[in-house]
Structure 1
């Protein structure tokens, strides 16, 4: 599997929307034209973004909000179902953590808890998993 990783925040709205549809985070019935035109706004305003590509197909992405020192929060880690379990999500998170190695890492999840625990996150409460910040 030949996957190329990129760090651009400017993901194409249509490709991002198709990825979100595939993982069940978007709906064609409830998404308006205006929403489609601004679908990547969260990514454009994030601290950093990584994406995974197979040719010109967006197969995965993740975005992070961070102060670049103390705390970093993972949002919207998504991988196309047919590409899952191939290390893409793990690699996207590895690249994120590499940007702020000493930061506390936070992700809120209930469905992907096992995935995050496998890559080093620890349960803090029933839904919030963290990697402790070295400064606190």
Structure 2
């Protein structure tokens, strides 16, 4: 298995959405087309997208939104289940951190992956807020 990492937003977004479903980030199959449009727009509007490949097979990705000088947030760091726990996620995180070395990084993750991010140097911060009632057009992922 030869894993390569690429920096590109030029992805097959059907395959990207497949991974969202495979890792159970998305669940409703009836909203696949809406999800695809939203995810493609989110990736293309991100400042940085990095992806992992096994040959020509997309196996994972992460994206960064940043102001480029102070703060950056990693979003959607997802790896196909059969490729998890092989160091691929760590490679993607490192690429993101190295792309913006001057920035403070933030991310949001499921409780199941806290130890993974801690091994990459992240710490849990108990203070944080989000706007619970977002815009009406906001997509919920369940």
In the alignment, structure 1 segments of 5+ residues that lack a partner are: 129-136
- Moved runs in structure 1, 4+ residues, more than 6 A? none
Question: Matches of 1:107 and 1:37 in 2, distance apart?
Answer: 23
1:106 aligns with 2:93: no
RMSD: 1.9
**CA offset at residue 127 of structure 1?**
7.5
By relative contact order (CA 8 Å, sep 6+), the higher-ranking structure is 2
Aligned residues: 128
Secondary structure at the counterpart of residue 20 of structure 1: helix
Question: Matches of 1:10 and 1:81 in 2, distance apart?
Answer: 23
1:87 aligns with 2:79: no
Q: Which has the higher helix share?
A: 2
The aligned counterpart of 1:52 is: 52
In the alignment, structure 2 segments of 5+ residues that lack a partner are: 130-142
**CA offset at residue 126 of structure 1?**
6.9
**CA offset at residue 90 of structure 1?**
0.3
Q: TM-score, normalised to structure 2's length?
A: 0.82
Q: Which has the higher strand share?
A: 1
Secondary structure at the counterpart of residue 75 of structure 1: strand
